[in-house]
């Protein structure tokens, strides 16, 4: 995880055009400061979640959130992975909305895509086969129509970064 973050900081800390489209706007990656595992655990325990997958905790320790492949000029592209200061409020907001019927108690919303309404969900049920997996939540669709990626957070992050912010699960 640390190596991936260092590579992103090195290669994407300044705005540049992605390789897939030279005519597009410029993107960059913006990271928070190092976070504390205890801050995340306090926030999510208020939601009833106690089993945060270790690779997501590693990410929080290194960055405390990030905007990846962010279009700084217009804010219409990229992914915002929440820091410990907003994860509780964002989850509470969605759990008290129309999504409450589709979210499971062990679903933790860890981010959102800028420019659209998709959310990034981390499965935190240690007794489930999909513990640690990522789901892309489509707020206008039922749970059965969401993208179940069958990959953990680190794998998801690596694939997203290797695709320079392209939603690779939509084109597979």
Compute the chain's Rg from CA coordinates: 15
* Full domain range(s) for residue 13: 2-163
CB 139 within 8 A of CB 119: yes
pLDDT in tens, 75-128: 889 999 999 999 999 999 999 998 888 999 999 999 999 999 999 999 999 999
Rounded distance between C-alpha atoms, residue 115 and residue 24, angstroms: 15
Q: Is the pLDDT of residue 23 over 80?
A: no
Q: What is the pLDDT confidence band of residue 172, given thresholds at 50, 70 and 90?
A: low
pLDDT at residue 18 in the model: 84
Q: pTM of the predicted model, to two decimals?
A: 0.94
Task: Give dist(CA 172, CA 167) in Å, integer.
Answer: 9
Q: Is 44 domain-assigned?
A: yes
Q: Is 37 a domain residue?
A: yes
Number of domains in the chain: 1
CA dihedral 20, 66, 59, 154 (to 10 degrees): -20
Residue 169 domain-assigned (yes or no): no
Q: Is 170 part of any domain?
A: no
Say which CATH number the domain at 14 has.
3.40.1580.10
């Amino acid at each position: 995880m640390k190596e991936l973050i260092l590579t992103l900081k090195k290669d994407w800390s300044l705005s540049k055009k992605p390789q897939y489209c030279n005519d597009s706007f410029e993107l960059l990656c913006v990271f928070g400061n190092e976070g504390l595992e205890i801050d995340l655990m306090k926030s999510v325990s208020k939601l009833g979640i106690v089993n945060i997958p270790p690779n997501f905790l590693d990410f929080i320790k290194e960055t405390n959130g990030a905007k990846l492949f962010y279009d700084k000029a217009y804010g219409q592209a990229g992914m915002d992975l929440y820091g410990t200061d907003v994860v509780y409020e964002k989850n509470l907001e969605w759990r008290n909305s129309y999504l409450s019927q589709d979210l499971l108690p062990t679903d933790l919303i860890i981010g959102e895509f800028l420019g659209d309404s998709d959310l990034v969900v981390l499965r935190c049920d240690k007794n489930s086969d999909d513990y640690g997996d990522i789901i892309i939540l489509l707020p206008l669709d039922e749970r059965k129509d969401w993208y179940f990626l069958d990959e953990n957070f680190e794998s998801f992050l690596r694939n997203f970064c290797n695709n320079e912010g392209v939603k690779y699960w939509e084109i597979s």
